[in-house]
Amino acid sequence: MAVYLVTGAAGFIGANYVHFLLEQEKDAQVVAVDYIGFAGNVANLDQVIDRITFEKADIADLEVMEALYRRYRPDYVVNFAAESHNDRAILGPSAFMRSNALGAQVMAECSRLVPVRSHVHVSTIEVYGELAAGDQWFTERSALNAKTPYSAAKAAGDQMMRAYMQTYPEMNIRMTHCANNYGPFQLPEKLIPLAVTNVLRGRKVPVYGDGLQSRDWLHVADHCAAVHRVLHAELGTTPAAAATDPGLLPIFDISARCEVTNLDIARLVVTELGLNASEWIEHIPDRPNHDRRYLINPAKIESQLGWVPVHNFAAGIAETVAWYVEHRSWWEQVIADKGELGFDWSQVGPAATPR
């Protein structure tokens, strides 16, 4: 029986991965770790709570995490744990640096001290920064050029993981970068669930600036399948040339090649709810330092590991909207616990507050 240690397991993507993993491997032993920060929600695991071991712990605490490793002796580690909202990072970047940078290093160190079969660090497209005009997409060879506190903290974690990959090649560390995810259990501070929950409460959908910021969209179930594929792939030895060519490192960019603007996402959600988009969308002051456009090319994971996304975007959006409609009690409890989750950037800088 394989033992999986999954961090950030009560968050959006981590919880979806736990569900996916238990569907794929019925007899897997899953140790789900989360410190239940702002985006953590144990209710995301309610359906499988009797099939997992849940541990409340901070991945940036080396002593605590090493003890968990020694107690459970995981075969596989997947680190989803991260603070991940750009708006909150602008208001309080220190928490993001702790989880996303120090936490990444602590997890790698634990996998060094208590060896595992493989360790996947889950990162984000945003570490590459903003696409230059005329550029088609980023790849695994692109420079890290993060421009926001959130993405810079993730990039710092990425740099540490790259250092571990090359300094301790026997550790079998892998890393992924993903496009913007959508699907069940996403905190209603992100665009799609915020749009749905606002409309269901009779409120308009807030769109930052002109709404023409362009993003790369990926269904969370496709992302989970890709991460699992990376975790179990036989990759062989990293060549020495990887020292100057990051494309040769065990790093995989995950995308469905689906570029859509924020404004079009808002329109899709409102239309799916049977309403007139022109009447239910409002443009509000833009977030400071808002990335305009970013995309990644998944050719490496497609060609080397045979992964391809299976979710059609239109059908996936419809299913996602339906999930929030059908799970009103879930998101109402989230809002009751955490307060309103939209941001009002008409109050400039650190004075900005949830709407």
Average pLDDT over residues 124-129: 95
Residue 310, pLDDT > 60, answer yes
Average pLDDT over residues 313-318: 97
Rounded to an integer, what distance in angstroms lies between the CA atom of residue 7 and that of residue 34? Answer: 6
User: pLDDT for 53-108, tens place per residue?
Assistant: 999 999 999 999 999 999 999 999 999 999 887 788 888 888 899 999 999 999 99
Average pLDDT over residues 289-314: 95
User: pLDDT for 318-346, tens place per residue?
Assistant: 999 999 999 999 999 999 998 887 887 77
Average pLDDT of every residue of the chain: 94
Whether 194 contacts 140, CB under 8 Å: no
pLDDT at 350: 44
pTM for the whole structure: 0.96
39 or 29: whose pLDDT is higher? 29
124 is written with which tokens? 């984000």
Q: What is the DSSP letter of 275?
A: S
277: nearest Cα among 192, 199, 174: 199
User: pLDDT for 300-309, tens place per residue?
Assistant: 999 999 999 9
Which alpha helices (DSSP H) does the chain contain, by range?
12-24, 62-72, 86-91, 93-97, 103-113, 149-167, 191-200, 220-232, 262-272, 277-280, 299-305, 313-326, 328-338
Residues 83/87/89/92 CA torsion (nearest 10 deg): -120
User: pLDDT for 173-229, tens place per residue?
Assistant: 999 999 999 999 999 999 999 999 999 999 999 999 999 999 999 999 999 999 999
Tell me what percent of the residues of the chain surpass a pLDDT of 70: 97
Superfamily the domain 3-187+217-257+295-312 falls into:
NAD(P)-binding Rossmann-like Domain (3.40.50.720)
pLDDT at 91: 84
Residue 7: exposure state from Cβ atoms within 10 A (0-12, 13-18, ≥19): buried
pLDDT at 251: 98
Residue 129, pLDDT > 70, answer yes
Q: 172-208 burial, b for 16+ CB within 10 Å, e for fewer? A: bbbbbbbbbbbbbbbbbbbbbbbbbbbbeeebbbbbb
Rounded to an integer, what distance in angstroms lies between the CA atom of residue 122 and that of residue 119? Answer: 10
